[in-house]
Each structure stands twice: as C-alpha cells, then as structure tokens.
C-alpha cells in the first residue's frame, strides 16, 4: 500500500465519527484534502453537514465541492474536527503545521468537542521532535529578533516558498524549530509562548480524541487513556 492509499483509508475511517447532521471542522493538508472529498460526496448524497475550514485552501476545496461552510469569524459549535498531523507520539500528542495552517487549525481544534486525527503509519514516533521540527508562527514585525530568541530552544529556520518567506493565512511567518526529541513538550510549548512575537506553536498537546493510523493491515484506532 502506498502512502496516498493509506491516507485515503484513514480519511474514509474518519467518516464513522461524523454526526448524522452537524458541524465539522475541516483540516488542512493532503490527508485532510482526501477527507474533504469524502465530505463533499456525503453532502451531495444529502447529508446535512456544515464545514468550518482551517485554511483558505480547505475553504476553496470544500466550496468547489458544494459543502456549506460557516463564516471564518465564528463562534462555532463544532461536533467533530478531522485533521492530519506531521508527527504523533505515544501519548497522542501532535506536531502540526507542515501545511502552515497551525494557528487556524489550533483555533478550530479548540472549538471542537471531538478531534479525529488521520495519519498514515509514517507519522508515528516515540517522542515528538524525532522526525519533525516544530513549526512556530510569528508576527512579521521583528521576526529576526524573535528567531534569535527561539535559538535558546533549537535551530529555527524561516520557512520559504519559491525563495520568499511563506506567509500564513493569518498573515504571519513560520519558523521551523529543529530541537530533536522533546523531553517535555508541555514545558517547551509554554516557554515558546513566552517569547514575544510568537503567535502559536505546532505542538498540539492532549488535543487528539482519536488518532486513526492507516497502514497495510488496515486502520488502527488509537485513543488517549
């Protein structure tokens, strides 16, 4: 099974967690794209779902598929949010933000009563940071000074696209902070939030209700506790 097939399998498994009718957070990234395709098919078949997109890209995709969407302003009462992740540890803590949507994703995640994370097996690790850097969204003003402060925690690299700084939907920049395996993700998250200029971190701690991990043997359903 290739990675894309595994992502599709995880995306389909997430449909089991959707309400008969209600509000669904729509994640960002290649796995979430597959999930949004499935939501589009459900809506066309008559299911009454309202989407809350976590990025302009997810909004555009869902809109094109005819999925009714809530305004970006909120407030929302979200039954379930389905999103991907870059890394998942044994406690189901996550690193997210590979697609640059971490701030919106975290806002929608916190507004959802249940969060379903869809990944293929390559995303699992024992400790966060083994595989991925931690994306950190920062305000543009003084970002190089913010980056200098981030050096106390690891090696920050400004994310660029086509040779220019990548600008998020929220208008911020992203530094990918390589810090190696993280002993205490909660302490790191708190410390990073204390740096002026930091808007949000890609550490999603205790925020996954269920992680659906797809691989050749099917879909494993992992839940906390």
Residues with a catalytic annotation lie at 105
Q: What is the 3-state secondary structure (H, E, C) of the chain?
A: CCHHHHHHHHHHHHHHHCCCEEEEEECCCHHHHHHHHHHHHHHHCCCEEEEEECCHHHHHHHHHCCCCECCCCCCCCECEEEECCCEECCCCCEECCCCCCHHHHHHHHHHECCEEEEEEHHHECCCCCCCCCEEEEECCCCHHHHHHHHCCCCEEEECEECCEECECCCCCEEEEEECCCCCCHHHHHHHHHCCCCEEEECEECCCCCEEEEEECCEEEEEECC
Chosen residue from 79, 87, 89, 105 binding ligand 5RP by CB under 6 A = 105
Q: Which CB atom, from 101 or from 210, has the smaller least distance to ligand 5RP?
A: 101
- Among 25, 40, 51, 99, which residue sits at the site for ligand 5RP (rule: CB under 6 A)? 99
Given 14, 36, 57, 85, the residue binding ligand 5RP (CB under 6 A) = 85
Among 9, 36, 43, 96, binds ligand 5RP (CB under 6 A): 96
Select 103 or 146, whichever has its Cβ closest to ligand 5RP. Answer: 103
Distance in Å, CB of 44 to ligand 5RP, minimum: 23
Of the ranges 26-34, 37-45, 61-69, 217-225, which one interacts with ligand 5RP (CB under 6 A)?
26-34
Q: How far apart are CA 85 and CA 101, in angstroms?
A: 11
The one among 17, 40, 62, 83 contacting ligand 5RP by CB under 6 A: 83
Contact 159, 151 (CB under 8 A): no
Q: Which stretch binds ligand 5RP (CB under 6 A): 24-32, 36-44, 70-78, 145-153?
A: 24-32
Q: Which two tokens stand for residue 203?
A: 């550490």
Residue 79 or 137 with smaller CB distance to ligand 5RP: 137
Residue 20 CB, nearest distance to ligand 5RP (Å)? 26
Q: Is residue 156 a contact point for ligand 5RP (CB under 6 A)?
A: no
Size of the site for ligand 5RP (CB under 6 A): 18
| Cα(26)–Cα(18) distance, integer angstroms | 12
Instruction: Please pick, from the candidates 27, 154, 172, 197, the single residue that binds ligand 5RP as defined by CB under 6 A.
Output: 27
List residues near ligand 5RP by CB under 6 A.
27-32, 83-86, 96-102, 105
């Amino acid at each position: 099974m290739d990675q894309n097939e595994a992502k599709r399998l995880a995306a389909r498994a997430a449909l089991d967690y959707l309400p008969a009718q209600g509000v669904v957070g729509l994640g960002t990234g290649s796995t979430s794209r597959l999930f949004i395709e499935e939501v589009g098919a459900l809506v066309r078949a008559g299911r009454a779902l309202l989407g809350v997109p976590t990025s302009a890209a997810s909004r555009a995709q869902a809109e094109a598929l005819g999925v009714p969407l809530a305004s970006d302003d909120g407030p929302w009462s979200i039954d379930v949010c389905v999103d991907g992740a870059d890394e998942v540890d044994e406690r189901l803590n996550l690193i997210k933000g590979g697609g640059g949507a971490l701030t919106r994703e975290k806002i929608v995640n916190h507004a959802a009563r249940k969060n379903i994370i869809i990944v293929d097996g390559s995303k699992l690790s024992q400790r966060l940071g083994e595989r991925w850097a931690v994306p950190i969204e920062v305000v543009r003003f003084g970002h190089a000074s913010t980056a200098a402060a981030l050096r106390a925690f690891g090696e920050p690299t400004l994310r660029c696209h086509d040779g220019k700084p990548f600008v998020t939907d929220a208008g911020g920049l992203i530094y990918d902070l390589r810090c190696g395996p993280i002993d205490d993700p909660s302490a790191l998250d708190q410390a990073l939030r204390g740096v002026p200029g930091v808007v949000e971190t890609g550490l999603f701690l205790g925020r996954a209700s269920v992680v659906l991990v797809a691989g050749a043997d099917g879909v494993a359903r992992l839940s906390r506790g």
